[in-house]
Structure 1
Amino acid sequence: MRIGVAATPQVAIPTLDWLLTTDHELALVITQPDKPAGRGRELKQSPVSEWAGIHGVTTLKPESSASLVEHLESLDLVITIGYGVILPESILKLPKFGFINLHFSLLPAYRGAAPVQRAIENGEEVTGLTVFQLDKGMDTGPVFTSMAVNMEPQWRSHEALEHLAQLGPVAIASSLESISLGVKPQAQAGQATMAPKISKAEAEINWRHNNRTIVNKIRAFYPAPSAWTLWNGTAVKITNARIHDTIEKLEPGQILFHNKKLLVGAENRGAVELVSVIPSGKNEMAAADWARGAHLHGGEYFG
């Protein structure tokens, strides 16, 4: 088949690499326009744009979907992976077999922009990926392929995404075979749930929650926007943490630095051991190193 890929993030790269090894023709890549980034606000390409440049694949960075029409009509199929733009139904019908999307959840669970993050936040033990036919809804189209994956308890969102991305080619290969054989996708079945984009405000840690809920949030929201808490009026990002069943009686948010471990109280006498942090204006560091530099001794409070 003559295929296009509409994608922006790093998680699309394993599927792009795989496509180059197949008999399919990767005719073009569609990605978001370069955007200002960093302190200098210099224009930066998306990971997919950089990949396409290295491999000499035609790249489109449309400001509007209307400019895609002439390019899509000659394609058999477009695969989308985190493209980040909602396309009108008229565009979705242009390729011979339309558009299919690789989504990192077992649909209809976790429809939306942050499926992996929300699954980790909710303490899910199983996640997965789904390849489905794009329609005008939000991740509502019929399914070609779904694959369940056990969630490792220590995974943060980027680690889970990296693992799922490596399985993307398997799910896409199965779906392309179904399409070539004329197999019709099946309507989604089960209870639909949503996975909206994460806001900075909701990433603030509430130390009155139990320690498992807090650690799940820290794992889920790394690397962006990162869970955070206030210390002396400034935000400290918590980038990794573990559940700690301390015998110390700590109040929610109360800090204890003991045996080179930085502990914070949660509800019901539970505690969270902070592993790494990003203090305001500094780089990521071990939580114990930060505690020593900040002269934490115990009795102080976050929040």
Structure 2
Amino acid sequence: MKIIVASTSLIARPLASALKHNQNHELVGIVTSQDKAVGRGLSVTSNPLAVWAKEEEIEVFKPENMDDFELLITKSKVDLIITISYGQIITPRLLSLPKFGWLNVHFSVLPKFRGAAPVQRAILSGDKTTGVSVFKLDQGLDTGAVYKVLEVPLNVDATTEDVLIELSELGAGLAVETLSMISNGLLPTPQSKVGVSYAAKFNKADGQISWDSPSEHIYNTYRALHKNPGVWTMLGELRLKIEKLKPTIVNETLKCGEVLIDTERLIVGTASGAIEILNLTPAGRVSMTASEFIRGLSNRTDLYLG
């Protein structure tokens, strides 16, 4: 089977590697985004997935639009396309072109958490499990019939990045198993209409910590969002980006958002329990430890975060 992987993320590496070394199928290449001008010098740069693929001697395609993508499918006579963190709407015309259609590797147990941010939503919700689904792509939002699904425990300290690494490896294996199902003429199972939920993308405002929440929820917010879009709070008019925090226990009774400086520890009260901030970046400055931040404070009393 001739296969293209469509993705803009390094999450696709395990899948592309598995297909590259699979004796039964041919990886035609990876479809990804156009090069972009980045940095102060606005130098035109390929995304990390494209750079990796070139190093692995995997063909990389960067169609400018869906017409270019259609031409690629037609010329390469591809049998199947697998999307994973691709982020583009596929037209009905393109969906109909490959012999076996399109698959998507989605990081939830569908129909739960359809949409762009399933892992982040699972962590933020305090879920105990997550998973991977491989389904046949259709015109809906992650609504296609499912070939393979795997549910796994969600570690209480795992971040979004930790979970994505694990699920990308598991998803690669499930996708290869799905290819065998398709080759043997097995059909996918329609998704249940019960338990449908959606995982909308987060924005920067979602990363502001609500100190009147329980410490467990704040920790989940950090685990889910600290890399993207980032977790932050305000000390007066100073914005603080939180790089690392953890739940902690203190003897004092703290109000929500109240700051306790315990020697070189930066502790904040919540609705239930407390949070210790370990690393942070004040606006306009470099990343620093809590102790470094404390040493730079002119006032260490009556401080509140919000």
Range into which the TM-score falls when normalised by the shorter chain: over 0.9
Cα 1:157/1:288, change in 2 over 3 Å: farther
Cα 1:71/1:200, change in 2 over 3 Å: same
What residue in structure 1 maps to residue 300 of structure 2? 297
What residue in structure 2 maps to residue 68 of structure 1? 69
Residue 199 (structure 2) pairs with residue 198 (structure 1) = no
> 1:11-160 alignment to 2 at 5 Å?
11-23=11-23, 24-73=25-74, 74-160=77-163
> 1:109-258 alignment to 2 at 5 Å?
109-189=112-192, 190-258=194-262
- Partner SS, residue 12 of structure 1: helix
Compute the displacement of 1:134 (Å): 0.4
Unpaired runs of 5+ residues, structure 2, are none
Within 1, Cα distance between the matches of 2:237 and 2:184? 61
Compute the displacement of 1:295 (Å): 5.1
8 Å Cα contact 2:264-2:294 kept in structure 1: no
Measured on the aligned residues, the alpha-carbon RMSD in Å equals 1.6
> 1:283-294 alignment to 2 at 5 Å?
283-294=286-297
> Which residue type is aligned with residue 53 of structure 2?
A
8 Å Cα contact 2:133-2:171 kept in structure 1: no
Cα 1:20/1:229, change in 2 over 3 Å: same
Within 2, Cα distance between the matches of 1:160 and 1:84? 19
Within 2, Cα distance between the matches of 1:187 and 1:55? 36
Cα 1:108/1:283, change in 2 over 3 Å: farther
Unpaired runs of 5+ residues, structure 1, are none
- Partner SS, residue 12 of structure 2: helix
What residue in structure 2 maps to residue 5 of structure 1? 5
> Which residue type is aligned with residue 220 of structure 1?
A
Cα 1:141/1:296, change in 2 over 3 Å: farther
> Which residue type is aligned with residue 92 of structure 1?
L
Cα 1:40/1:234, change in 2 over 3 Å: farther
Compute the displacement of 1:101 (Å): 0.6
**Corresponding residue pairs, total:** 302
Residue 284 (structure 2) pairs with residue 281 (structure 1) = yes
Within 1, Cα distance between the matches of 2:128 and 2:298? 38
Compute the displacement of 1:20 (Å): 1.4
> TM-score when scaled to structure 2?
0.94
